[in-house]
C-alpha cells in the first residue's frame, strides 16, 4: 500500500507542471493498476478455491496485511469471507487464506489449523521470492497434508503450489482452469509412505529384517491388498513395528492396548501415515483421532461351541416307525378280527360242510393265525370249503400288506437316524449350562461385546484367566468352556491360533450366528492425503471381487496347516428326536378297508346261515 501511495504522489507532482489533463490521466493509471491487482486476486482464488463454500482469512496485523485484506473484500469471489487473527481462530471453513508481512511468521499463524488433505491454504507474503523459495524447500513438512499455494506481491500471476501426490512446492505459471484439473490424484511419484504393522495371524505377516533392514518376507491378506494399492498409486513404503511387538505373538482381535494410536496421531515426521493389522471400524475407533478407510473385509465374530454328542438309541426304537395311536388301533383290529373269526368259524361249521378251519375254533388259534399273516410268515390258501372265514382272512391279508409295507419302509430310516444332544448356540444356552470363556490376555470387552445388551453384559464377566497356553489347553480339555474367533470369508481365525492344541479343536464347531460384526480397514491420520486414493481403489477391488479372492486363496493355504479353519463349519446335523412315527390319520384308509372286509364276512355268514348253501 505504501508503494501505491508513493506512485500516487509522483503522478501528482508531475501533474502540477503538466496541467490538469495530465492529473486526470495519472489518476486513471493508478486506478488501472489497482484494477489489475483485483483481477489477479480473483484469478488466484478462482484457481485455488474453486468448489469451496467459504474462506477464512488469517492476518498478522501488519499494514501490508490490512491493505491486501481490503483488496480481497473487493474481489468478486462469490463466497463468504471470515476474518480472524491468531487469537480468534474459526474452524468453520475448509479454505484458509493467510496474509503475513514475513514468511517466517507463517508457522505461527497456521498453528491450530486443521491441516487435512481435504482443506486448502493460500498464503500471501511480502517477503522476497528468494526467501519464500528457501522457506518452501526447508519447511514443507509443517503444512501437514493440506494443499498449499504461496503468492508473493511482486507477481500475482504465478505462485508456488504443493498438492497431495507430490509433497513439494512447484512454481505454477498457468493459473487458468482449476487446481484439480492439473493434478493426477492417483500418482504419488514414488513418495514414501510410513506403515505400522506387525505379525497378526492371517492379516499381516512380516519376516525378520534382512541386511538392508527390510522385512525378509511380507504376507497376509491386508499386506497383499496394501502392496497392490501402493503399486497402483506409485508409492514406496517403509514398514515399522511397535517395539513391544517385535518377535512376539500378539492377539490381533480386540487388543486392549491400541498400539497404533500414538504414532498415527503424531502430527510431525515422527508419526506413521498408515496402520493395519485387523483394525476394526468400531464406535471407539471413530471417536479417536484416526480415520478409517473403506472397509476391507467383514469379520463375523462367532463362538466355537462343543459339538453335539450322540445319544444312545432306546431299546424300543424298532417300534418308532408307527405312532402310538396307530399301534393302539392295530391292536384293537387284531382283537376284533380274532373274535369275529373264531365265532364265524364255529357257527359256519355247524350249518355248513367246511374243511381246514378247525384251527380257528379257539381264540388262541385265530389270534396266532392273524399274527402270522400280519408278519407275512403264514398266509393260508383260500378255498370254497372255508365258508365266510375265507373272506375275513383275505381282507386281513390285504390289510397286512399295506401295514407291513409302510412299517418296513420307515423302519430303516428310523434306526439309521442318529440322535444328538442339543447344540449350545447362544449366550443364553452358555449361561444356563454353566459354561464360561477363557483368556490368556484379556481382550477389550467393551469393543468385543455389546454391553448395552443384557446377555452380552452377563457373558462378558463369565471369564476365567489362564496363566499360559498350557493351562489354557488344559482347561479346554477338562472344563466347560467356549472359544471365540472370527469368520473371514470362508475361513475361521482364532486369537493366537498357533498356540492352541489342534486336537482339541476337533471337538468344536462354530455357532450358527454372529454375536457381533465388524468391518476391518486401514487406519490413517485425520486428513491424510492417502485416504481418498486408497478408498477409490478399495472400492474398485471389492466390486471386482479381488479382495474376496485374496481371502479365499489365503484360507486355502491356512487350511493345510490349521484344519479347523474350515472344519468348524462342518456342522453336526443334530436331531433332538428321531423322525416322527406314521400317525393313524395317514393310514385310516386301510382300516376302512379292513372294516368293510370284516363286515362283508359277517354278511356272507348270515346269508349262508339262512340260505343253507355256500356263497
More confident residue, 451 or 558: 558
Mean pLDDT value of segment 560-570:
88
Give CA–CA dist 434/421, Å, rounded.
16
Q: Does residue 363 surpass a pLDDT of 90? A: no
- Written as one string, the DSSP assignment of 172-229 is E----S-GGGG--TT--TT-EEEEE---BTTTBEEPPB-TTSSBS-EESHHHHHHHHH
User: What confidence score (pLDDT) does residue 1 get?
Assistant: 44
Contact 389, 341 (CB under 8 A): yes
More confident residue, 182 or 339: 339
Close Cβ partners of 367 (under 8 Å, ≥ 6 residues apart): 334, 338
User: What confidence score (pLDDT) does residue 543 get?
Assistant: 92
Q: Crossing angle for the helix pair 531-544 and 221-232, nearest 10 degrees?
A: 110
More confident residue, 349 or 115: 115
Give CA–CA dist 608/588, Å, rounded.
30
What is the sign, positive or negative, of the torsion defined by CA atoms of 432, 436, 437, 442? positive
User: What confidence score (pLDDT) does residue 613 get?
Assistant: 52
Over the stretch 394-445, which tens digit does the pLDDT of each residue have? Answer: 888 888 888 888 777 776 666 666 677 788 888 999 999 999 998 888 888 8
Residue 18: pLDDT band (50, 70, 90) is very low
Contact 479, 306 (CB under 8 A): no
Mean pLDDT value of segment 261-276:
72
User: What confidence score (pLDDT) does residue 582 get?
Assistant: 56
Residue 11: pLDDT band (50, 70, 90) is very low
Give the residue from 240, 294, 230, 236 showing the smallest Cα distance to 262. 240
Residue 341: pLDDT band (50, 70, 90) is confident
Pairing of strands 436-439, 516-525: unpaired
Query: Which stretch of 85-94, 179-188, 404-413 has the lowest confidence by average pLDDT?
Result: 85-94
Over the stretch 583-606, which tens digit does the pLDDT of each residue have? Answer: 556 556 666 666 776 776 677 667
User: What confidence score (pLDDT) does residue 27 get?
Assistant: 44
Residue 303: pLDDT band (50, 70, 90) is very high
Q: Crossing angle for the helix pair 389-416 and 588-611, nearest 10 degrees?
A: 170
Query: Which stretch of 4-13, 499-508, 590-599 has the lowest confidence by average pLDDT?
Result: 4-13
**Which residues are bridge partners to 150 per DSSP?**
123, 160
What global pTM score does this model have? 0.70
Q: Which single residue is written with the C-alpha cell 362283508?
A: 600
Mean pLDDT value of segment 288-307:
89
Q: Across all residues in the chain, what is the average pLDDT?
A: 79
User: What confidence score (pLDDT) does residue 15 get?
Assistant: 44
Over the stretch 517-537, which tens digit does the pLDDT of each residue have? Answer: 999 999 998 888 899 899 999
More confident residue, 228 or 310: 228
Q: Does residue 251 surpass a pLDDT of 80? A: no
Residue 97: pLDDT band (50, 70, 90) is very high
Q: Which three cell numbers stand for residue 567?
A: 472344519
Mean pLDDT value of segment 442-468:
87
Give the residue from 282, 216, 201, 206 showing the smallest Cα distance to 240. 206
Q: Does residue 376 surpass a pLDDT of 80? A: no
Give CA–CA dist 450/85, Å, rounded.
46
Give CA–CA dist 326/402, Å, rounded.
13
Residue 7: pLDDT band (50, 70, 90) is very low
Q: Does residue 344 surpass a pLDDT of 80? A: no
- Written as one string, the DSSP assignment of 287-332 is HSSEEE-S--EEEEEEEEEEPPPEEPPPGGGGGTTB-HHHHHHHHH
What is the sign, positive or negative, of the torsion defined by CA atoms of 245, 247, 248, 249? positive
Query: Which stretch of 311-320, 438-447, 493-502 has the lowest confidence by average pLDDT?
Result: 311-320
Q: Crossing angle for the helix pair 324-351 and 389-416, nearest 10 degrees?
A: 160
SS3 at position 591: helix
Mean pLDDT value of segment 22-35:
50
Max CA separation in the chain (angstroms): 168
User: What confidence score (pLDDT) does residue 314 get?
Assistant: 61
Highest mean pLDDT among 10-24, 337-351, 407-421: 337-351
How many whole angstroms from its chain centre is CA 358? 81
Nearest-10 Cα torsion for 263, 265, 270, 272:
60
Q: Residues of the chain with pLDDT > 70: what percent?
A: 78
Query: Which stretch of 261-270, 370-379, 516-525 has the lowest confidence by average pLDDT?
Result: 261-270
Contact 72, 41 (CB under 8 A): yes
Which DSSP symbol is given to 117? T
Q: Does residue 329 surpass a pLDDT of 90? A: no
- The helix (run of H) or strand (run of E) holding residue 392 is helix 389-416
More confident residue, 23 or 168: 168
Residue 29: pLDDT band (50, 70, 90) is very low
Amino acid at each position: 500500500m505504501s508503494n501505491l501511495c508513493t506512485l500516487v504522489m509522483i503522478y501528482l507532482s508531475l501533474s502540477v507542471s503538466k496541467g490538469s489533463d495530465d492529473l486526470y490521466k495519472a489518476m486513471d493509471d493508478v486506478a488501472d493498476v489497482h484494477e489489475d491487482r483485483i483481477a489477479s486476486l480473483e484469478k488466484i482464488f478462482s484457481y485455488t478455491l474453486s468448489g469451496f463454500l467459504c474462506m477464512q482469512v488469517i492476518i498478522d496485523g501488519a499494514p501490508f496485511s490490512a491493505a491486501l485484506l481490503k483488496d480481497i473484500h473487493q474481489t468478486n469471489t462469490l463466497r463468504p469471507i471470515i476474518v480472524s487473527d491468531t487469537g480468534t481462530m474459526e474452524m468453520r471453513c475448509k479454505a484458509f487464506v493467510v496474509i503475513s508481512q514475513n514468511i517466517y511468521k507463517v508457522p505461527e499463524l497456521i498453528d491450530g489449523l486443521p491441516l487435512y488433505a481435504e482443506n486448502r491454504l493460500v498464503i500471501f507474503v511480502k517477503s522476497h521470492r528468494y526467501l519464500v523459495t528457501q522457506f518452501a524447500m526447508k519447511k514443507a513438512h509443517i503444512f501437514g497434508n493440506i494443499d498449499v499455494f504461496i503468492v508473493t506481491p511482486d507477481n500475482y500471476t504465478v505462485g508456488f503450489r504443493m498438492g497431495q501426490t507430490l509433497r513439494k512446492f512447484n512454481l505454477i505459471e498457468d493459473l487458468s482452469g482449476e487446481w484439480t484439473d492439473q493434478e493426477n490424484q492417483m500418482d504419488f511419484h514414488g513418495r514414501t509412505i510410513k506403515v505400522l504393522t506387525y505379525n497378526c495371524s492371517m492379516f499381516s505377516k512380516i519376516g525378520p529384517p534382512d541386511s538392508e533392514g527390510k522385512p525378509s518376507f511380507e504376507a497376509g491378506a491386508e499386506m497383499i491388498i496394501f502392496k497392490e494399492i501402493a503399486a497402483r498409486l506409485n508409492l514406496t513404503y517403509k514398514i515399522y513395528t511397535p517395539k513391544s511387538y517385535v518377535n512376539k505373538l500378539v492377539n490381533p482381535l480386540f487388543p486392549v492396548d491400541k498400539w497404533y494410536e500414538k504414532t498415527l496421531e503424531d502430527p510431525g515426521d515422527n508419526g506413521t501415515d498408515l496402520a493395519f493389522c485387523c483394525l476394526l471400524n468400531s464406535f471407539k475407533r471413530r471417536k479417536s483421532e484416526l480415520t478409517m478407510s473403506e472397509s476391507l473385509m467383514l469379520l463375523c465374530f462367532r463362538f466355537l461351541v462343543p459339538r453335539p454328542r450322540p445319544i444312545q438309541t432306546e431299546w424300543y426304537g424298532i417300534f418308532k416307525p408307527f405312532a402310538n395311536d396307530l399301534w393302539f388301533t392295530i391292536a384293537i383290529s387284531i382283537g376284533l378280527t380274532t373274535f369275529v373269526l373264531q365265532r364265524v368259524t364255529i357257527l359256519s361249521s355247524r350249518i355248513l360242510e367246511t374243511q381246514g378251519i378247525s384251527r380257528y375254533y379257539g381264540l388262541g388259534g385265530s389270534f396266532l393265525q392273524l399274527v402270522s399273516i400280519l408278519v407275512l410268515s403264514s398266509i393260508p390258501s383260500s378255498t370254497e370249503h372255508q365258508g365266510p372265514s375265507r373272506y375275513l382272512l383275505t381282507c386281513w391279508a390285504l390289510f397286512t400288506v399295506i401295514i407291513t409295507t409302510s412299517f418296513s419302509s420307515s423302519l430303516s430310516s428310523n434306526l439309521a437316524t442318529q440322535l444328538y444332544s442339543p447344540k449350545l448356540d447362544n449366550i443364553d444356552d452358555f449361561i444356563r449350562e454353566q459354561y464360561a470363556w477363557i483368556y490368556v490376555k484379556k481382550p477389550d470387552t467393551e469393543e468385543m461385546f455389546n454391553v448395552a445388551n443384557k446377555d452380552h453384559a452377563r457373558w462378558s464377566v463369565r471369564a476365567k484367566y489362564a496363566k499360559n497356553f498350557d493351562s489354557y489347553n488344559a482347561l479346554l480339555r477338562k472344563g466347560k468352556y467356549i472359544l471365540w474367533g472370527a469368520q473371514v470369508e470362508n475361513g475361521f481365525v482364532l486369537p493366537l491360533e498357533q498356540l492352541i492344541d489342534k486336537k482339541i479343536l476337533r471337538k468344536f464347531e462354530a455357532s450358527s450366528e454372529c454375536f457381533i460384526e465388524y468391518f476391518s480397514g486401514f487406519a490413517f491420520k485425520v486428513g491424510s492425503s492417502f485416504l481418498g486414493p486408497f478408498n477409490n481403489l478399495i472400492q474398485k477391488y471389492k466390486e471386482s471381487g479381488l479382495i474376496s479372492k485374496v481371502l479365499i486363496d489365503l484360507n486355502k493355504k491356512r487350511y493345510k496347516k490349521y484344519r479347523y479353519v474350515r472344519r468348524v463349519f462342518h456342522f453336526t446335523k443334530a436331531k433332538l428326536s428321531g423322525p416322527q412315527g406314521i400317525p393313524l390319520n395317514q393310514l385310516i384308509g386301510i382300516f376302512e378297508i379292513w372294516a368293510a372286509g370284516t363286515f362283508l364276512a359277517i354278511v356272507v355268514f348270515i346269508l349262508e346261515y339262512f340260505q343253507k348253501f355256500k356263497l
